[in-house]
Amino acid sequence: MNMTPEQRLQQLGLTLPALTAPRGSFNAWVLDGSTLYLSGKGWPQRADLTAVPKVGREISLEEARGHAHQVGLHLIATMQAALGELSRVRRVVKLLGMVNAAPDFMQHTEVINGCSDLLVQVFGEAGRHARSAIGVASLPRGFAVEIEAIVSIRE
């Protein structure tokens, strides 16, 4: 028996987070035909923006990977909000993962694997995607990780 993505989430003991409205003049998602574009989601949410920690310096690889996993949960929650049910996801096509990294940090792909692995766990082979993982000098609101996605859907 094939499980739905919702059943896989339940089996994994995962709960989708509540979504918040975007901060700005953009949408969290845009559905154009059979393609769903998800705006970048960042993590962790921080109140103190005076000192922004960097992955590879104040934030460990493992911690950053956990942040990418959390972003993955938000992206899945956004898919569900946009589509009504996750079974409409035909496949995850592409991710762009950005890591707020120290200049000498080079394990960006291992960080973004926190999101990629989650998508495969939830969607099976349909969760395998093309991907870019890059290091950046800064991200909005001091995020350690920001990820955006392109998803193909069933009409």
Cα–Cα distance between 137 and 95 in angstroms, integer? 19
Residue 47 has pLDDT above 80, yes or no: no
Determine the Cα–Cα distance for residues 88 and 90; give it in Å rounded to an integer: 6
pLDDT per residue over 84-98, tens digit each? 999 999 999 999 999
| pLDDT score for 153 | 97
Tallying the residues shown for the chain, one arrives at: 155
pLDDT number for residue 23: 85
Distance between CA 154 and CA 80 in Å, rounded?
13
Q: What confidence category does residue 48 fall into, taking pLDDT thresholds of 50, 70 and 90? A: confident
> What is the rounded CA–CA span in Å between residue 116 and residue 110?
10
Whether 118 and 54 have beta carbons less than 8 Å apart is answered as no
The model's confidence at residue 71, banded by pLDDT at 50, 70 and 90, is very high
Angle at 15 between CA 13 and CA 20, to 5 degrees: 165
Does the bond joining 44 to the residue before it have cis omega, within 30 degrees of 0? yes
pLDDT, one tens digit per residue, over 1-42 is: 689 999 999 999 999 999 988 889 999 999 999 999 999 999
For tokens 């393609």, the residue is: 35
pLDDT value, residue 2: 85
Closest-CA residue to 123 (of 89, 82, 75): 89
Q: For 114-135, what is each residue's pLDDT tens digit?
A: 999 999 999 999 999 999 999 9
Place of tokens 């991907």: 131
**What is the rounded CA–CA span in Å between residue 64 and residue 100?**
9
pLDDT number for residue 1: 62
H-run or E-run covering 151 = strand 145-153
Question: pTM of the prediction?
Answer: 0.96
**What is the number of alpha carbons within 13 Å of residue 27 lying toward its C-beta?**
11
How is domain 30-153 classified at the CATH fold level?
60s Ribosomal Protein L30; Chain: A; (3.30.1330)
